[in-house]
Chain A
């Protein structure tokens, strides 16, 4: 009986997280267009429904009705598989992120913890699955049978693996502080108010996470792989209709993922700003902090110019990795001194 309830709980949690994520991704596209529009002193979409709120539905219907083309020279199996890999990797990371504390189902004494899975290698899982997501982009560009797609995907691959190194080394700083890879533990250790958040103890790692996170998800200023103006859309040039929509959604889902990781590791996850405000449920705090990061990502997309490819490589290898190593050394030194 217990097993049945457990199974139901897991299935319901998966469905809720997945549905919530899809809605967030759809309305993230709306938010991006509105915010970019207002930054450029124009309205974003405002015709489909009040304030353009039904625009994501209109986009979905358009993507559904477009012609779904598989190029003649494409490798058909890989071509169809690539966007799904991207999407699966982006969504799977949400299995370990803690959204809130716990609540008891009213009427019973069944405690529901607000996370899908509480693995004790949570952080390692996150980085492993994030690396798998890169396969989608590489295979997508290569299987298109198009030399521009191939170039775009090779650039994407090189960029992603370079910035992953810096990202991993930066996050080890947080690991040293919390002495556990378990994400729920990392969040729990940041309890007690805003002054306990890791952002004050690891500011360099935080900045590195933001920069390398942007590079991982191919977002301005690192969006050379899908440079709309230069490379004629890069690796997803041969994709149309639902497959393109999947790549597009995977990019936004990945953006939400990086924001969620940043919130969990550095901003205290679902913890409130001051303990007196803990009557507001943890998930509201998580969503508010997530929104802050998403707004920041969109804001700096509207601000910063795109880096050229050699500038991206130079920045990643010659500036960020040494910075991450120095951060690691200093953190280790300070922690070992404190005993």
Chain B
């Protein structure tokens, strides 16, 4: 009964002198996995605008109902979203919108660090979603 206690003490002393395995967060970050479901972004087409055709599939499939779409037709007769609002405070980052999209317009990105002091910037519009592509090569 004494010997196991002494062996335990030896083990902890060994651990005391070993290098800690913590990653010191803001200075060292662990890169997320390739399929990490982070902040969403829109893909751009050759005109620089969103590929989204406002079909509404992502709005219907979203479990938290955080997407709101209003459709419109532009001059060339193409369908596009007049309003596309994704409420990041409701989003649960499940990735269903990416899976549901038929035209590969919306993707889950790599970002996970987003802190704001007000709710308004967290309501992502089309512009914000297009901008978000910058952080996702």
Contact = CB atoms under 8 A, between A and B. Distances in A.
B12 interface: yes
Chain A: interface residue count, which band? 10 to 19
A36 to B, nearest CB: 9
B22 interface: yes
A299 interface: yes
A110 interface: no
B15 A38 contact: yes
A41 B18 contact: yes
Contact of A42 (B9, B13, B17, B21): B21
A35 interface: yes
A303 interface: yes
Nearest to A40: B15
Contact of B9 (A37, A38, A300): A300
Contacts of B15: 38-41
Nearest to A305: B8
Contacts of A300: 9
Interface string A295-315: 000011011100000000000
B22 A39 contact: no
B115 interface: no
A304 B22 contact: no
Contacts of A41: 15, 18, 20-21
A120 B10 CA distance: 41
A101 B9 CA distance: 35
A44 B57 CA distance: 49
Nearest to A301: B12
B8 A37 contact: no
Interface centre among A39, A42, A304 (most CB of B within 10 A): A39
A39 B9 CA distance: 10
B16 interface: yes
A43 interface: yes
Interface in A36-68: 37-43, 46
A38 B17 CA distance: 7
A37 B20 contact: yes
Nearest to B13: A299
B3 interface: no
B127 to A, nearest CB: 37
Given A42-B21, A42-B22, A43-B22, A303 B8 contact: yes
Contacts of B12: 39, 299, 302-303
Contacts of A302: 12
B35 to A, nearest CB: 29
Contacts of A303: 5, 8-9, 11-12
Interface string A22-38: 00000000000001011
A304 B8 contact: yes
Interface in B12-43: 12-13, 15-18, 20-22, 24
B5 A43 contact: no
A295 to B, nearest CB: 10
Contact of B20 (A35, A42, A299): A42
A40 B22 CA distance: 11
B16 A38 contact: yes
Contacts of A304: 5, 8
Interface string A274-316: 0000000000000000000000000110111000000000000
Interface in A134-149: none
A35 B16 contact: yes
Nearest to B8: A303
Contacts of B20: 37-38, 41-43
Contacts of A299: 9, 12-13, 16
A304 B5 CA distance: 7
Nearest to B14: A39
B121 to A, nearest CB: 28
A158 to B, nearest CB: 24
Contacts of A40: 15
A304 B9 CA distance: 8
Contacts of A39: 12, 15-16
Interface of A: 35, 37-43, 46, 299-300, 302-304
9 contacts: A38-B15, A38-B17, A39-B15, A299-B13, A299-B16, A303-B5, A303-B8, A303-B9, A303-B11
Q: Please name the 3 residue pairs, one residue from A and one from B, whose CB atoms are nearest each other, closest first.
A: A303-B12, A42-B22, A39-B12
